[in-house]
Amino acid sequence: MATHISPRYRDAAIILVVVVAVTGFNIWLHRGDTPIGYQLYSANGFSFIYPRECTLREAVVIFRYPSYWLGDLQGESSDGAATVIGIVWEAERSGGVPATMDEIIDAASGYYQITDVGVDADTTFGGKQVSVRGFSVLVNEVSVPGLMAGWVSPEGRVFVMYCLNLGRGDDYTALQLSRMMGSLETEPPPKPR
Amino acid sequence: MASSGVQETVKTATGAPRLEFIDFARGIVMAIMAWDHVSGFWNQYHHGGEGILGRAPPFVDTTWFLLRFVSHYCAPTFIFLAGTVLAISVKRRLEKGESQRDVSLHLVKRGLVLLFFVAAIEAPAFTNPWTYFGVIACIGVCLIIFSVARMLPTKVILVLSLLIILNHSFLDLSFIPTRPNWGWYLRVILHEPSFDRWPYVGLYPIIPWVAVMGLGWSLGNYLSGKSAEEIKGLKRPFALTGVASIAAFIVVRWLNGYGNLVARMGNTLVDWLYVSKYPPDLAFLLWTLGGMCLMLALGIHIQGREWFHGGLSGMLLSFGRNPLFFYLVHLWLYRAQPPDFYPRAYVPPFYLGLPETLLFWAVGLVVLWRLCLWYEKLKRQYPKPILQYI
């Protein structure tokens, strides 16, 4: 028996199908895009995403041009420097991740007063097994809390990411690090010519 | 009696009854908007800029965040209902016998008048350059777009509007060069609000706001010709749409992916509610347009009451009937300073505390109420020509 559908419902159904189909296709098409609010860094044999408002500078912690085995990047947000993010990488050495973290804190201590350095703890950030360490930086008598996370890549590099933020709480810092660490992808070292 | 004077005003120029629940909802957001602006002018910890280039400038505490957040209802409601009223007024003009050409010409002229008001009144009030692309400029350009787009069937406008709102976050304007400056400005106007390159600044890009107006237009066409009884029956659908929209907001924020131009970075109240206004993401529009639907439902619920035209609701109605007049006057009333002849970042001569600002806001609303009533009287005395554009 033929079923009569009211034109009003038919039109609503057509509108719904068109809107859902086009939007669904667009979501699928853009599934691999850098998330909104982030930018992609890709060089020196690795890539990761970082907050778009942070402009990255090279050689802030280690005074050398970045290369595959050694380097660092740091970015500060332009809206009042409320957020600072950074990444340091180097060939794994004795002492592993904690040694690289100590090195970063030593380097930063030359410029700022580093306080409340915590004990390392193992956890999972963005699907990677990492060591995390809390710390604070005293800037103009204001204590800015920060967190760093370190991971050893399959090719034997230590990557330590850090994030400091004033005003948005520990959740923000942890989530930011988790996103950055989760997006970190590395490539094998270049072959000698 | 005051109410008889007000009753006269609830007829439009064509004599058709006004849909007063629309004026009521618009009046609520005008009053809230006045708070946002007086606080922006005089409070040290009040700021905006949520979402510009993905940024999320932090607030000093949750109170100041919420005092800003509440104002998010204003622009979407203002623009949506501008579309609704536009559809109703266009239909009435055509029914009165005006030609299609005259109606389109009227919309273009109205759009240009709005752009003039931006340069002459709105931008200087915010100490912005005359090129500032704010909410009035956006509505002005949308009116010009609708002078042509109105020829499309309502269903097509509805589908296009929904598609723009749901998909604008994928828009990539990188093909437009940012040098020379016209390229930058075009991107600001189209979809990338920014204050980074003075004087090519703006906060209300045409995309997706034109789509918000398109949704309002669709509603206006749906409401046209509805009887009072049929309008009453819309209370429940409006309320349900509002609740569903807010529920969808919660889902979108919880998923924390598609629909969020500012990601949720934690689980505090601020993290959940911190959404992108510039440009408005899906989460922002779900929350604000959902709230607007609840305001419309409330308006329908109370519009038959005896006290509707008096007291607080009477005041809100007078704001809602004169939105542009209210907008232009309130900016300078609350700014309460002469214009700066050299646009710069706005800094007041001193800051007010929260209680003083609230008092200023309340007193200002009473003044604006009297001014709106006076202006309505003036419009009745001189129904033509320039006053019809304000």
Residue B9 above 50 pLDDT? no
Q: Are B286 and B4 in contact (CB under 8 A)?
A: no
Whole-number pLDDT of residue B5: 39
Q: What is the mean pLDDT of residues A4-23?
A: 89
Print the domain residue range for A95: 38-186
Q: β-strands A128-139, A121-125: how paired?
A: antiparallel
Residue A143 above 70 pLDDT? yes
pLDDT band (50, 70, 90) for residue B245: very high
Is B283 inside a domain boundary? Answer: yes
Helix (H, G, I), strand (E, B) or coil at B39: helix
Which phi and psi (to 5°) does residue A93 adopt? -130, 180
Residues 9 through 38 of chain A touching chain B, CB cutoff 8 Å: 11, 15, 18-19, 22-23, 26-27, 29-30, 35-38
Domains identified in chain B, total number: 1
Whole-number pLDDT of residue A76: 87
Whole-number pLDDT of residue B6: 40
Whole-number pLDDT of residue B2: 38
- Who contacts B312 (Cβ-Cβ below 8 Å, separation ≥6)? none
Q: What is the mean pLDDT of residues B252-268?
A: 89
Beta bridge partners of B257: B259
Whole-number pLDDT of residue A169: 72
- Cα A90 from Cα A72, distance rounded (Å): 9
pLDDT for B335-365, tens place per residue?
Answer: 999 888 776 667 888 999 999 999 999 999 9
- Cα A27 from Cα A70, distance rounded (Å): 37
Is B41 inside a domain boundary? Answer: yes
Tell me the CA distances in angstroms from B134 to A138, B277, B278, B283, one per residue in order. Answer: 40, 13, 11, 21
Does the distance separating the beta carbons of A18 and B266 come in below 8 Å?
A: no
Whole-number pLDDT of residue A7: 79
Is A7 inside a domain boundary? Answer: no
Q: Chain A: nearest CA to B381, how far in angstroms?
A: 44
- Cα B86 from Cα B140, distance rounded (Å): 12
- Cα A163 from Cα B185, distance rounded (Å): 34
pLDDT band (50, 70, 90) for residue B1: very low
Whole-number pLDDT of residue B390: 61
Report the residue of B44, B53, B55 to disrupt the A interface, i.e. the one with the largest count of A CBs within 10 Å. Answer: B55
Whole-number pLDDT of residue A4: 73
Is B1 inside a domain boundary? Answer: no
pLDDT for B14-63, tens place per residue?
Answer: 455 568 999 999 999 999 999 999 999 999 999 888 888 677 777 888 99
pLDDT for A27-66, tens place per residue?
Answer: 999 988 888 778 899 999 999 999 887 889 887 777 678 8
Whole-number pLDDT of residue A35: 80
Whole-number pLDDT of residue B7: 41
Residue A122 above 80 pLDDT? yes
Q: Which residue of A has its CA nearest to B60?
A: A167
Average pLDDT score over chain A: 87
Does the distance separating the beta carbons of A168 and B58 come in below 8 Å?
A: yes
pLDDT for B115-136, tens place per residue?
Answer: 999 999 999 999 999 999 999 9
pLDDT band (50, 70, 90) for residue B328: very high
Which among A52, A82, A171 has CB closest to B268?
A171
Neighbour-count burial of A164, counting CB atoms closer than 10 A to its CB (0-12 exposed, 13-18 middle, 19+ buried): buried
DSSP H or E segment with residue B104: helix B100-117
Does the distance separating the beta carbons of A53 and B55 come in below 8 Å?
A: yes
Print the domain residue range for B115: 17-389
Report the residue of A14, A54, A79, A144 to disrupt the B interface, i.e. the one with the largest count of B CBs within 10 Å. Answer: A79
Does the distance separating the beta carbons of B163 and A82 come in below 8 Å?
A: no
Phi-psi region of A134 (alpha: psi -120 to 50; beta: other; left: phi over 0): beta
For residue A160, what is the domain's CATH number? 3.40.1000.10
Is B73 inside a domain boundary? Answer: yes
Which among A29, A30, A172 has CB closest to B266?
A172
Which of A85-99, A159-173, B138-152 is least confident? A159-173
User: DSSP readout, B231-271?
Assistant: HHTTHHHHHHHHHHHHHHHHHHHHHTBTB-SS---SSSHHH
Report the residue of B50, B253, B265, B275 to disrupt the A interface, i.e. the one with the largest count of A CBs within 10 Å. Answer: B265
Q: Which residue of A has its CA nearest to B275?
A: A37
Asked if A44 is an interface residue toward chain B (Cβ–Cβ < 8 A), one would say no
Does the distance separating the beta carbons of B155 and A15 come in below 8 Å?
A: yes
Q: Taking CB atoms and an 8 Å cutoff, what residues of chain A touch B55?
A: 52-53, 77-79
Residue identified by tokens 């004169």 is B322
Residue B241 above 70 pLDDT? yes
Average pLDDT score over chain B: 91
pLDDT for B93-121, tens place per residue?
Answer: 999 999 999 999 999 999 999 999 999 99
Domains identified in chain A, total number: 1
Is B9 inside a domain boundary? Answer: no
Q: Are A100 and A160 in contact (CB under 8 A)?
A: yes
By C-alpha distance, which of B62, B74, B71 is closest to B39? B71
Q: Are B301 and B238 in contact (CB under 8 A)?
A: no
Identify the DSSP state of B80: H
- Cα B67 from Cα B244, distance rounded (Å): 24
Own/partner long-range contacts of A130-136 (Cβ < 8 Å, ≥24 apart): A130/A97, A130/A181, A131/A97, A131/A98, A131/A101, A132/A177, A133/A98, A133/A101, A135/A105
Which phi and psi (to 5°) does residue A33 adopt? -65, 155
- Who contacts A74 (Cβ-Cβ below 8 Å, separation ≥6)? A56, A57, A60, A61, A84, A85, A86
List the structure tokens of B61.
């505490």
Report the residue of A19, A38, A164 to disrupt the B interface, i.e. the one with the largest count of B CBs within 10 Å. Answer: A19
- Cα B70 from Cα B68, distance rounded (Å): 6
Is B11 inside a domain boundary? Answer: no
By C-alpha distance, which of B167, B159, B158, B199 is closest to B182? B199
Neighbour-count burial of B253, counting CB atoms closer than 10 A to its CB (0-12 exposed, 13-18 middle, 19+ buried): buried
Identify the DSSP state of B1: -
What ipTM was predicted for this assembly?
0.84
pLDDT band (50, 70, 90) for residue A110: confident
- HEC-encoded secondary structure of chain A: CCCCCCHHHHHHHHHHHHHHHHHHHHHHHCCCCCCCCEEEEEECCEEEEEECCEEEEECCCCCCCCCCCEEEEEEEECCCCCEEEEEEEEECCCCHHHHHHHHHHHHHHCCCEEECCCCCEEEEECCEEEEEEEEEEEECCEEEEEEEEEEECCCCEEEEEEEEECCCHHHHHHHHHHHHHHHCEECCCCCCC
pLDDT for B180-229, tens place per residue?
Answer: 899 999 999 999 998 888 899 999 999 999 999 999 999 999 999 888 89
pLDDT band (50, 70, 90) for residue A80: low
**Exposure string over B159-195, b if 16+ CB within 10 A, otherwise e:** bbbbbbbbbbbeeeeeeeebeeeeebbbbbbbbbbbb
Residue B145 above 90 pLDDT? yes
Whole-number pLDDT of residue B182: 92
Is A78 inside a domain boundary? Answer: yes
Asked if A142 is an interface residue toward chain B (Cβ–Cβ < 8 A), one would say no
Does the distance separating the beta carbons of A38 and B159 come in below 8 Å?
A: no
Q: Taking CB atoms and an 8 Å cutoff, what residues of chain B touch A82?
A: 57-58
- Who contacts B68 (Cβ-Cβ below 8 Å, separation ≥6)? B36, B39, B46, B47, B48, B59
